[in-house]
Structures are given as C-alpha cells and as structure tokens.
Amino acid sequence: MTNLEHLGIAVQDLKAATALYTSLLGIAPYKQEHVASETVDTVFFRVGGSKIELLAGTAPESAITKYLEKKGEGIHHVAFEVNDIRAEMARLRAEGFVLLNEEPKRGADNKLVCFVHPKSAAGVLVELCQEIINA
C-alpha cells in the first residue's frame, strides 16, 4: 500500500454535499463521475496527496443506498493505492482477509479496485485502488 488514495463519504444529496465540501475545503471538485457497475455517482476533491470521494447511490440496490438506509451519511470507506492490486489481493487472502471481489473491477477515477470486508478490517470497509495506465 503506497498511500491513502481517498476517503469515501456516503451522502444523500450529492449536489448539496458538493457545495458543502467546496465551502468546507475551499476548493472546487476536479471531477464528477457515474460508476454504473456500482450504481453510484461520485464527486472527487484533491486534498494534498489524498482525495475526498463523495458518493450517492443511483439505485435501490446500490451499496451506498443500502448503507444510507442503515447508517445515514458519513465516512463509508477508506481507499489505499497499491502498485499491483492482484498481488495485494493474493497477499491479503493468504493473511486471512475476506475480499469482496474475486477479481479487481474498474472503479472511479481510472482505477482498478477491490474491497476488503469490514469484518476483516476492524469494522472499516477498505478499498484497494491501482491506477490504470493506458497503453
């Protein structure tokens, strides 16, 4: 794991939360992106070497929609950058962590991602992110 890639925050109203975090951070977001595979809309802010990812669900089956129904708005996950996501997944499996993905999948912000079950990580949903280098 090379650095804290982003902090994922689940929000009910993405437009309102984007205005709030623009005011809070004093900077504008650098991108908004829909991730169909996760049925989420995301907004990203750069904060130093890390990012804030605001997430809103776009369907009832969205993990974010379900999370909001149960827990309300707040920190949803922490994401770490890795150089080789498949090697990290193998290492974590060997160490007994429960992964939520058989294979990495395409996430937001040009990344390959996977998730570690919160039960394996002291109650924190952990995401691994590897930059997709376009050949």
Ligand X SMILES: CC[C@H](C(=O)O)C(=O)SCCNC(=O)CCNC(=O)[C@H](O)C(C)(C)COP(=O)(O)OP(=O)(O)OC[C@H]1O[C@@H](n2cnc3c(N)ncnc32)[C@H](O)[C@@H]1OP(=O)(O)O
Q: Where along the sequence are the contacts to ligand X (CB under 6 A)? A: 8, 35, 38, 40, 42, 53, 55, 63-64, 66-67, 70, 76-77, 79, 100, 107-108, 111, 113, 115, 117-118, 123-125, 127
Identify what 9 binds: ligand X, Co ion, none; CB under 5 to 8 Å per kind: none
Q: Which of 46, 1, 55 is nearest to 25 (CA)?
A: 46
DSSP string computed for 11-39: -S-HHHHHHHHHHHHSS--SEEEEEGGGT
Give the dihedral of Cα atoms 116, 32, 68, 5; nearest 10 deg.
Answer: 30
Choose between 81 and 127: whose C-beta lies nearer to ligand X. 127
Binding site for Co ion (CB under 5 A): 8, 53, 79, 127
Q: How far is the CB of 125 from ligand X (least distance, A)?
A: 4
Cα–Cα distance, 63 to 89 (Å, whole number): 21
Identify what 57 binds: Co ion, ligand X, none; CB under 5 to 8 Å per kind: none
Chain residue at closest Cβ approach to ligand X: 107
Chain residue at closest Cβ approach to Co ion: 8
Q: How far is the CB of 90 from ligand X (least distance, A)?
A: 19
